[in-house]
Chains A and B, each alone.
Chain A
């Protein structure tokens, strides 16, 4: 069995144990000193604020210290992780559903049906939606936690960075809903024509499972740029380049804005994206197919997926603090009893001294 804390910073309050001791010492020191001819007719006044520096009732001090310590622990919210409790928590799942398109809300309701707690998040940028989902999961009670990303899962809509931002304890699942909508994009490539490197902005029509590419205008570019060199009429090369760029994690929305396949080779080849594109080009050089899928490859999705991690206490838990509060009440009762006993004893001693005097 282990113990985790919902609000561990509250344990700092245990430092308050020093408070009664400090008060005792400070008050004792502030008592002024008064030279007097003889103490033979004086009797010590039994006042708490003027007791001696030495601890007179260690049991009472211990009890008071325990009250402060246990109260601090109760505020910190301990959760005792017993095996049965862990197993019970693992059976329930808190599920955050990230929707790639708000119209997919019906799918979300299906995903919510078997969850212990669930919520859906839809933002224009995937990273923002995932961040919202993580924040929500952090507030949930002890349970298995997972993020389900539902949508058309179009290439470029999710990147390695988005997935890496999800903490390890949160499971990841993907749910493909419908197909990516056909999209028209401008696909710039560089080509060598008559010994000169030119840029060609090709109009590309992306459909659910195929890409149709039409030719575009060619614009000369700087010759020192390394480029994907291909014949203009080689449609398969363009398709392969597009697929490779998306698979390499170039975000789709970024990809639309940039001249993606130009890069400065000097001093070193810049990125894995470039290598991937080059490899794809090499692979596609011998093919002549026009059908390239635009959805994220299943292999990639499997690679990103993972089950939920071990269950731990969350801030939303009540924890076991109620037991500690009960102990605090018992200790207060004990302290009251000890204090009364002590005052009675002091009274008896004082009376005895008075009789002797």
Chain B
């Protein structure tokens, strides 16, 4: 599986100069770019602490001992590699606007991305490629009728496995993203980055799980994928709206329902973002009709922050 199947080379090339950094400390197995909760003996000085029996004498700061008559041991900040797990929503609601909607007044997207799921897959592929390119580990987890799980691993050879699994995913499931998040909390043994890509329509079940992951110490990023039509209800003429997941139907004339709809969904988006940010969870909203590269660049640059 070549990476071009899920992400275009132009999208990748434009973001090559960036890395996906973590704002939290992560527990890696190897030396890496990211802060570790452990203090080791690398080049970057971190702090002094009182000498305790058993400390290696070569790290005792004798100059400080001479000045203060107390024995201090030098500590150095340890950096480690990042383990990123992408949790992807594969419910049917992500398959919008699909082919069945074409010709109904929904459509006219400038980019090649057609559905929310394609957007989610593209973002995951971009982030995953960046993570693997910077020497970190990336894995993917999605749950529909069964679990699709690729454990986070590093190395370019793993990129092939990662992208293959990503390309095989289809938005046909009827299972909530919350189930995938529950599973993520059990499979992640060390603190890492969890990137949740979803439209969050099952927010009542999903948000508690996201908070739980954050409180477990993971650096959680929520990528909220939406289509422009969902935000504006740009549908021509009255129609019977069919819920992609439940099959429930509703007769709606969009011009009459648009104002209240836009107001309701705007309020909901603001509420979701506010709840996540309050928990220190990074939130990235992506719209299918909008250009992907500037939004990702802003997001990645924003996460660099002070190391």
Contact = CB atoms under 8 A, between A and B. Distances in A.
Nearest to A32: B239
B230 interface: yes
B186 interface: no
Contacts of B101: 34-35
Interface string B209-236: 0000000000000000001001000010
A36 B95 CA distance: 9
B239 A35 contact: no
Interface in A1-59: 31-45, 47, 49-52
Interface in B118-165: none
Given A41-B264, A51-B251, A34 B257 contact: no
Interface stretch (B10-18, B65-73, B240-248, B294-302): B240-248
A39 B250 CA distance: 8
A357 B264 CA distance: 8
B248 A50 contact: no
A37 B100 contact: no
B248 A39 contact: yes
7 closest Cβ pairs, A-B complex? A37-B93, A45-B253, A34-B239, A50-B251, A41-B264, A38-B201, A36-B241
Nearest to B226: A37
18 contacts: A31-B238, A31-B251, A32-B239, A34-B101, A35-B98, A35-B100, A36-B244, A37-B94, A37-B96, A40-B201, A41-B261, A42-B257, A43-B252, A44-B252, A45-B251, A47-B238, A49-B238, A50-B240
A31 B239 contact: yes
A50 B238 contact: yes
B96 A42 contact: no
B268 interface: yes
A106 B256 CA distance: 81
B104 interface: yes
A37 B256 contact: no
A354 interface: yes
A5 B245 CA distance: 59
Which of A31, A38, A43, A47 has the largest count of B CB atoms less than 10 A from its CB? A38
A52 B93 contact: no
A32 B230 CA distance: 18
Contacts of B253: 45, 47, 50
Interface of A: 31-45, 47, 49-52, 354, 357
B260 interface: yes
Contacts of B93: 37-38
* Secondary structure of the B contact surface, majority rule: mixed
Nearest to A52: B251
Which of B235, B249, B252 has the largest count of A CB atoms less than 10 A from its CB? B252
A155 B252 CA distance: 86
A34 B251 contact: no
Interface of B: 93-94, 96, 98, 100-101, 104, 106, 116, 199, 201, 227, 230, 235, 237-245, 248-253, 256-257, 260-261, 264-265, 268
Contacts of A43: 252, 257, 260-261
A35 B96 contact: yes
B251 A44 contact: yes
B268 A41 contact: yes
Contacts of B96: 35-37
Contacts of B257: 42-43, 45
A36 B242 contact: yes
A31 B261 contact: no
Nearest to A49: B238
B252 A41 contact: no
B305 to A, nearest CB: 34
B244 A42 contact: no
Contacts of B94: 37
Given A31-B239, A35-B244, A38-B244, 14 more contacts: A32-B239, A32-B240, A34-B235, A34-B242, A35-B98, A36-B96, A36-B243, A38-B243, A38-B245, A41-B268, A42-B241, A42-B252, A43-B260, A45-B252
A160 B223 CA distance: 104
Nearest to A47: B253
B229 to A, nearest CB: 9
Contact of B238 (A37, A40, A45): A45
A353 B248 CA distance: 18
Contact of A42 (B227, B245, B250): B250
Contact of B240 (A33, A40, A41, A354): A33
Given A41-B268, A50-B253, A35 B242 contact: yes
A357 B239 contact: no
Given A38-B93, A39-B250, A45 B241 contact: no
Contacts of B98: 35
Contacts of A354: 260
A47 B251 contact: yes
A37 B244 contact: yes
Contacts of B265: 41
Contacts of B237: 32
A33 B101 CA distance: 9
Contacts of A32: 104, 237, 239-240
Which of A40, A42, A45, A354 has the largest count of B CB atoms less than 10 A from its CB? A42
A41 to B, nearest CB: 4
Nearest to B104: A34
Contacts of B242: 33-36
A52 B237 CA distance: 17
Given A45-B252, A45-B256, A37 B239 contact: no
Nearest to A50: B251
A3 B152 CA distance: 89
Nearest to A33: B240
Contacts of A40: 201
B239 A33 contact: yes
Contacts of A51: 251
A42 B261 contact: yes
Nearest to B237: A32
A265 B202 CA distance: 107
Nearest to A31: B240
